[in-house]
Amino acid sequence: DSGVTQTPKHLITATGQRVTLRCSPRSGDLSVYWYQQSLDQGLQFLIHYYNGEERAKGNILERFSAQQFPDLHSELNLSSLELGDSALYFCASSTDDQKLFFGSGTQLSVL
Amino acid sequence: GESVGLHLPTLSVQEGDNSIINCAYSNSASDYFIWYKQESGKGPQFIIDIRSNMDKRQGQRVTVLLNKTVKHLSLQIAATQPGDSAVYFCAENIAGGADGLTFGKGTHLIIQP
């Protein structure tokens, strides 16, 4: 158990809808990262938050957004969903921004 | 393109044999490297890491080798067990970088009984 908690584990929704993925980092970790994993693209960095502030953006679509709250949990919001957004979404936390500890992921299926 | 990649998508070994998973990276500024294991339905799990000031690091049944001259990283797993079956990813990072880890596409290790 990495100590990183993600909910829900599975999410099935329709095209055009909006969903929210939730992540609780390990106790004491200020950094939260979001990654998308698909079969053809591997693990792709989406966005990084540190202590409530956005630190870096990767290949994140404009339809996607995230935030980190004062209690350090983070949410990833995906809107106007398309079939191609179906993927595993992972949250990771870190103390040193090098070794990342990953949650078990949210499997998103857009039908 | 990606700065970290793997040579083989699938590696099949006999139980009890040693396995070697290779990884190439292209960013010479990277100074931290890490291997993850991902089992089906789970998130990536840390195995071992190495900094660029080292060329070898050993853990329990695993060894990571770093060759900065040719920008090559390898993971050696000794006496493979059925529980070692998984996808293995190498990843890299630059000190002070906020983008986290850059991952390769992964190698699927299959342990034959």
What pLDDT digit, counting tens, does each position of A39-98 carry? 777 899 999 999 999 999 998 999 999 999 999 999 999 999 999 999 999 999 999 888
Distance CA B56, CA B64 (A): 6
Q: How confident is the model at residue B7 (pLDDT cuts 50, 70, 90)?
A: very low
A33: nearest CA partner in chain B: B100
**pLDDT recorded at residue B104:** 86
Q: pLDDT band for position A7 (50/70/90)?
A: very high
pLDDT at A12: 98
Q: What pLDDT, on the 0 to 100 scale, is given for residue B2?
A: 38
Looking at every residue in chain B, the average pLDDT score rounds to: 90
Asked whether the bond before A8 is cis by omega within 30 degrees of 0, the reply is yes
Q: How far apart are CA B53 and CA A23, in angstroms?
A: 34
Number of Cβ within 10 Å of residue A111's Cβ equals 10
- Per-residue pLDDT band for B6 (boundaries 50, 70, 90) equals very low
Tokens encoding A45: 């960095």
B8: confidence class by pLDDT, cuts 50, 70, 90: low
pLDDT, tens digit (0-9, with 9 covering 90-100), for B52-98: 999 999 999 999 999 999 999 999 999 999 999 999 999 999 877 77
Asked whether the predicted pLDDT for residue B1 surpasses 60, the reply is no
Q: Is A104 on the interface with B (CB under 8 A)?
A: yes
Nearest-by-Cβ selection for B99 from A45, A90, A101: A45
B100 contacts A92? CB cut-off 8 A: yes
Place of tokens 């090098």: A98
pLDDT in tens, A93-104: 999 888 999 999
Q: Which residues contact B1 (CB under 8 A, 6 or more apart)?
A: none
Q: How confident is the model at residue B39 (pLDDT cuts 50, 70, 90)?
A: very high
Residues of chain A with C-beta less than 8 angstroms from the C-beta of B102: 45
Task: Say if residues A97 and A31 touch (Cβ distance below 8 Å).
Answer: yes
A 10 A CB-CB count for A51 gives 12
Residues in a beta bridge with B77? B19, B62
Please name the residue that has the structure tokens 């998973």.
B21
Instruction: Give the separation between CA A14 and CA A7, rounded to whole angstroms.
Output: 19
Query: Nearest Cα to B35, choosing from B80, B92, B105?
Result: B92
Note the pLDDT of residue B98: 78
- Sort strands A10-13 and A106-110 into parallel, antiparallel or unpaired: parallel
pLDDT at B3 over 90: no
3-state helix, strand and coil shares in percent for chain B, rounded to the nearest 5 = 5, 55, 45
CB-CB under 8 Å, A104 with B42: yes
Q: What is the pLDDT of residue A42?
A: 82
Q: Does A49 touch chain B (CB under 8 A)?
A: no
* pLDDT score for B64: 98
Q: Name the amino acid, one letter, at B4.
A: V
CA distance A49 to chain B (A): 9
Contact of A65 with A77, CB cutoff 8 Å: yes
Q: In this structure, are residues A36 and A89 in contact, taking their beta carbons and an 8 Å threshold?
A: yes
Do residues B26 and B3 make contact, with C-beta atoms less than 8 angstroms apart? yes
DSSP state of A26: P
